Amino acid sequence: MSSPLARPYTPVGPNLSIFDPLFIGLDEFGQPVHLSLIYRNILLGGEPGAGKSSLLNNVVGHAALSDDTDLVLIDGKLVELGLWRECADVFVGPDLDHAIDTLERLQKVMDNRYEYLDSQRRQKIVRDDVMRRILLAIDELAYFSATVGTKIEQDHFSALNRDIAARGRAVGIVDASATQRPSSDIIPTSLRCLFAWRWAGRCVDDSSSDVVLGHGWTNRGYSAARIDPNNQGEGLLLAEDGIPVALKAAHMTNDDIIRVADYAASVRRTRAANATTPNLGAVA
Ligand SMILES: Nc1ncnc2c1ncn2[C@@H]1O[C@H](COP(=O)(O)OP(=O)(O)OP(=O)(O)O)[C@@H](O)[C@H]1O
């Protein structure tokens, strides 16, 4: 089986699919790096300013231009993903109750989809399935799991996110979570292991880098603490079956994002107006 990193071709939007490879940046030789999101989750970690939100915007941008994908965006800072609000089926700002309510509904969608697959004697959705794919993007994870609300609410949020990351992939739900607090309480091993893709931007120390990439990578010579703090967007990208590769993340300026988001929103409005089939996976 070829590596998901090796897929060479991405069509031009708006006919993108979340099944198509996502262009995510350049490797240390200046070569484009693509990755496949479907059936996988992506975790982004690193110190403030490392470039996580910028990279997450690439992920959301690809999904926004993907005709088969709904967006569920949860943004503790409101402004990191806020430019995609018009494209989103659900947009959650710094509101833990709303975030929990949204994840509970997503969990229900996930359960319904499993019942449907079971009734069809199938294990996972495929490209020509009627079920729409869903991107769940969360920035900043720690805001909801450790900062606001009570411990019970935070744990409930974390449990929901973990369940969706664990069971959502086969039913077309991709979880992309970012945090500037890569510590074991925010990203326990049990959560990290659910993310096939992990990108560590500049980290304050080796142990933070290992929290994102996995224990032992620093000892093998891969630590995001060695990244120049002035080199924003530079990081180490790890696929589940590989070794970390240096990646300079693709970067969209604010104006770029506004242009892409406005275009994607208008395509989505047109599609919704012309829709003839019900949306089986709607979370809105
Ligand atoms: N790939 C990139 N190429 C060039 N510049 C970048 C790149 N990524 C980020 N930057 C620059 O770094 C700044 C901070 O990036 P970003 O907001 O993505 O960091 P962050 O890790 O999300 O920080 P925080 O945790 O504080 O939100 C951006 O405003 C941009 O100027």
Write the DSSP string, 184-223: TTTS-HHHHTT-SEEEEES-SSHHHHHHHH-TTTTTTT--
Q: Ligand 1, closest atom to CA 201?
A: 21
* 228 Cβ contact list (under 8 Å, min separation 6): 202, 234
Q: How much is the average pLDDT of 248-265?
A: 95
pLDDT confidence band for 4 (50 / 70 / 90): low
The Å distance, Cα 69 to ligand 1 centre, comes to 25
Res. 258: pLDDT tops 60: yes
Q: Which residues are annotated as a binding site for ATP?
A: 46-53
Res. 155: pLDDT tops 80: yes
Helix (H) or strand (E) holding 174, with range, is strand 173-179
Contact between 94 and 76 (Cβ < 8 Å): yes
Show the domains of the chain with their CATH numbers: 12-274 (3.40.50.300)
The Å distance, Cα 252 to ligand 1 centre, comes to 10
Cα 269 to chain centroid, rounded: 23
Q: Ligand 1, closest atom to CA 180?
A: 25
User: Tens digit of pLDDT for each residue in 187-218?
Assistant: 999 999 999 999 999 999 999 999 999 999 99
**Pocket of ligand 1 from Cβ distances under 6 Å:** 46, 48-54, 180, 201, 232-233, 249, 251
* pTM for the model: 0.92
| Residues paired with 34 in a beta bridge | 23
* 222 Cβ contact list (under 8 Å, min separation 6): 209, 213, 236, 243, 244
Res. 261: pLDDT tops 50: yes
Cα separation of 80 and 3, whole Å? 31
Structure tokens at 83: 């430019």
To test the pocket of ligand 1, the residue of 27, 43, 44, 54 to mutate (highest count of ligand atoms within 8 Å of its CB) is 54
The Å distance, Cα 222 to ligand 1 centre, comes to 21
Cα separation of 173 and 19, whole Å? 12
User: Tens digit of pLDDT for each residue in 49-105?
Assistant: 999 999 999 999 999 999 899 999 999 999 999 999 999 999 999 999 999 999 999
Torsion, Cα 17 137 78 61, to 10 degrees, reads: -20
- Mean pLDDT for the chain overall: 92
Torsion, Cα 75 80 83 88, to 10 degrees, reads: -30
The Å distance, Cα 15 to ligand 1 centre, comes to 28
Residue with the smallest CA separation from ligand 1 atom 13 is 49
pLDDT confidence band for 284 (50 / 70 / 90): very low
Cα separation of 139 and 96, whole Å? 13
Residue with the smallest CA separation from ligand 1 atom 2 is 233
Cα separation of 41 and 173, whole Å? 9
Res. 241: pLDDT tops 60: yes
Residue with the smallest CA separation from ligand 1 atom 23 is 49
Smallest Cα–Cα separation from 145: which of 176, 111, 99? Answer: 99
Cα separation of 92 and 222, whole Å? 35
Residue with the smallest CA separation from ligand 1 atom 16 is 51
pLDDT confidence band for 2 (50 / 70 / 90): very low
Cα 267 to chain centroid, rounded: 22
Cα separation of 137 and 90, whole Å? 11
What is the reported pLDDT for 3?
Answer: 52
Q: Ligand 1, closest atom to CA 44?
A: 21
